[in-house]
Amino acid sequence: MLALTECRVQGPYIAAAAINEPILDWVFPEDDDTEHQTSVDRLASYVQELQTGRKPKAKSKPRQTSFSTFGDGTVLNASMLLKTRHDLFRRPEDYFDTLASPIFNFRTPGVPVPLPQPKAPADEFAELALFERDEFHRQQLKLSSLSNKLLNPDKQEEEMVEATKKPRKSYRRWPNAGSGLRIPQMRISSAATSPLSDQVDEFARLIQKSIVTQELKTVEAEGDEMAKEAAYMLAERQIHHRRPDSLRLWSLGQTHDLRHIAHWFEQILEQ
């Protein structure tokens, strides 16, 4: 994350970064209800379409993700990642922060923040008090909703439609104009058999897109095809993305690539 926030154009700055099997998005595919709909949800949708007289639409199978395809590995697996997330973050909204999930600098999460799990009451009296409190809040919300609907029914309907919309992933521009930041050179590696390979691939694409956008803004040549080609070539040189066949973690002493990376850092610093 420091490579994205401390890459100032002037003064001390981070000029290069090398990352291996990074966790760039703690919102794993299992959290994305739009991509992983349960069989119960699909059946309910199918029955609803039959009852309304509409012909059920043929839906394609959800795309297999690296998280599910390679989630049973021995070196790095889905259970290990989920447990680590549970240990590191007290609340779900904590891992929706850009400091925790740097990919959110370049796009929105695409899913709502999960609601916190309710705490179990200590005894029967506490459970009864909790029920009465919740019931009171529900009644207050009903009265408030009814009052708003009577005063402004059109606005109420718009709010209900907006509330039922599922969030979607949308592009974010980073760095912001006038931030004084410039994305450094990076070497990013994630094995083709890693449960994290999908998010690493996406991060590399998004950060290259950001470099192209920033470069075209700098030279003020957004409609120039030659300038676009030059910007794409710069992005590919600046963000070197590797997908080795086997999964190797530096933290486990598997340092086969570290000599090459050290030499690369030396070349960057000599420029």
pLDDT in tens, the chain (271 residues): 778 888 888 777 888 999 999 999 999 987 664 444 444 455 556 556 655 666 656 555 667 899 999 999 999 999 999 999 999 999 999 999 999 999 999 999 999 988 776 666 566 666 677 667 777 767 777 666 665 655 565 555 555 555 556 788 999 988 887 888 889 999 999 999 999 999 999 999 999 999 999 888 877 766 688 888 999 999 999 999 999 998 988 877 766 678 889 999 999 888 7
Residue listed under structure tokens 């470069």? 215
Residue 248 covered by a domain: yes
Q: How many residues does the chain have?
A: 271
Domain encompassing residue 10: 2-112+168-270
**Do residues 93 and 208 share a domain?**
yes
Count structural domains, the chain.
Answer: 2
**Do residues 192 and 231 share a domain?**
yes
Q: Report the distance separating Cα 204 and Cα 135, nearest Å.
A: 49
**Do residues 178 and 88 share a domain?**
yes
| Residue partners of 256: CB distance under 8 A and separation at least 6 | 248
Last residue of a domain, one of 164, 196, 227: 164
pLDDT (0 to 100) of residue 224: 80
Residue 219 covered by a domain: yes
**Do residues 191 and 61 share a domain?**
yes
**Do residues 47 and 108 share a domain?**
yes
Its pTM stands at 0.74
**Do residues 9 and 142 share a domain?**
no
Residue 82 covered by a domain: yes
The residues pairing with 188 across neighbouring beta strands, listed in sequence order, are 19, 241
**Do residues 69 and 100 share a domain?**
yes
Residue 239 covered by a domain: yes
Residue 119 covered by a domain: no
Q: Report the distance separating Cα 170 and Cα 105, nearest Å.
A: 11
Residue 118 covered by a domain: no
Question: What share of residues in the chain are helix, strand, coil (percent, to 5)?
Answer: 50, 5, 45
| DSSP summary character for residue 131 | H
Give the Cβ contact number of residue 131 at 10 Å: 11
Residue 117 covered by a domain: no
**Do residues 103 and 175 share a domain?**
yes
**Do residues 70 and 26 share a domain?**
yes
Q: Report the distance separating Cα 197 and Cα 20, nearest Å.
A: 11
Q: Report the distance separating Cα 178 and Cα 180, nearest Å.
A: 6
Residue 249 near residue 20 (C-beta atoms within 8 A): yes
Residue 11 near residue 187 (C-beta atoms within 8 A): no
Token pair for 214: 């920033």
Residue 158 covered by a domain: yes
**Do residues 148 and 175 share a domain?**
no
Using only C-alpha atoms, what is the Rg of the chain? 24
Helix (H) or strand (E) holding 205: helix 197-219
**Do residues 151 and 231 share a domain?**
no
Token pair for 242: 């590797």
**Do residues 148 and 211 share a domain?**
no
Token pair for 232: 């794409």
Residue 180 near residue 9 (C-beta atoms within 8 A): yes
